């Protein structure tokens, strides 16, 4: 019962986030973010109706919905890169190339995944492992963008901070839950579902408040020259990626 109530509240929050996006004219400013929210709203609504009517579509289509969610979730990182680093051509170029490379990897895996899975049980195991890896990469990307913005003192408005905070906590909680589920096994499934729903509801709450209206990021005091600083940025960012990746590995081993 509690899970169903949280599910319904989540759908209502998704609808409200989309409604505020339309009213505040944010759809054109953050298209990738709102495409992600729209996809989740449609998927949650369809699967909830199927659950209520006992229509058997979850086993067949939940895997595809999961991969679409992983793919479109990268759009939030793209929005953060695009708006946070827009005054800095070199930094934005580096982040964009890294993000599109990751998106391509997700798309390739989504195509290959149904072919290589010999059974539904194997498909579940493959998806769980892939989800863990993909979210770990997204976590590294979020850590890197925060470090780059901090290093160059790049200001972020409330909209951008809300996107980073909401998606960052969702990724962190999901990674932690996946690690616990791998250790505990099927007995953790109920707790996994309930905690995941609460985490997503928290993200929706953050996004609803942060994106209630459009608030542009403050104009930075200085700009980075793209040609002069791109190589230095790439070198420093590689070091940040290595450090962030090492930190994630330590967390995963706990």
pLDDT digits (tens, 9 = 90+) for 30-80: 998 999 999 999 989 998 888 888 877 766 666 667 777 777 777 787 788
The Cα–Cα gap between 44 and 32 comes to 18
What global pTM score does this model have? 0.77
**Do residues 159 and 214 touch, judged by C-beta distance below 8 A?**
yes
What pLDDT does residue 33 have? 92
Q: Which residues of the chain have pLDDT under 50?
A: 226-228, 230, 248-249, 251-254
What pLDDT does residue 145 have? 78
Residues 176, 178, 183, 185, Cα dihedral to 10°: 140
CB atoms within 10 A of CB 188: 15
Domain boundaries, the chain: 2-253
pLDDT tens string 3-13:
788 989 999 99
The Cα–Cα gap between 241 and 9 comes to 37
What pLDDT does residue 62 have? 67
What pLDDT does residue 252 have? 45
2-253 topology per CATH? Rhopdopsin 7-helix transmembrane proteins (1.20.1070)
What pLDDT does residue 235 have? 59
**Do residues 40 and 70 touch, judged by C-beta distance below 8 A?**
no
What pLDDT does residue 24 have? 94
What pLDDT does residue 228 have? 47
């Amino acid at each position: 019962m509690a899970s169903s109530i949280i599910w319904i509240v989540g759908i209502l929050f998704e609808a409200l986030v989309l409604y505020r996006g339309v009213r505040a004219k944010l759809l054109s400013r953050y298209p990738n973010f709102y495409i992600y929210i729209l996809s989740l709203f449609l998927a949650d609504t369809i699967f909830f109706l199927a659950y209520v009517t006992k229509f058997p579509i979850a086993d067949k289509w939940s895997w595809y919905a999961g991969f679409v969610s992983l793919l479109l979730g990268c759009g939030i990182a793209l929005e953060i890169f695009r708006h946070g680093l827009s005054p800095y051509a070199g930094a934005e170029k580096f982040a964009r190339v890294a993000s599109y490379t990751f998106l391509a990897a997700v798309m390739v895996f989504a195509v290959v995944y149904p072919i290589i899975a010999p059974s539904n049980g194997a498909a579940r195991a493959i998806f769980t492992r892939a989800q863990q890896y993909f979210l770990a990469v997204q976590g590294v990307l979020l850590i890197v963008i925060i470090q780059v913005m901090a290093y160059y003192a790049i200001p972020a408005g409330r909209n951008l901070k809300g996107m980073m905070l909401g998606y960052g906590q969702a990724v962190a909680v999901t990674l932690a839950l996946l690690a616990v589920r791998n250790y505990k096994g099927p007995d953790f499934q109920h707790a996994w579902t309930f905690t995941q729903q609460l985490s997503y509801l928290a993200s929706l709450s953050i996004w609803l408040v942060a994106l209630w209206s459009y608030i542009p990021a403050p104009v930075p005091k200085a700009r980075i020259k793209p040609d002069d600083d791109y190589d230095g940025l790439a070198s420093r960012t590689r070091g940040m990626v290595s450090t962030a990746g090492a930190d994630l590995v330590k967390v995963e081993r706990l």
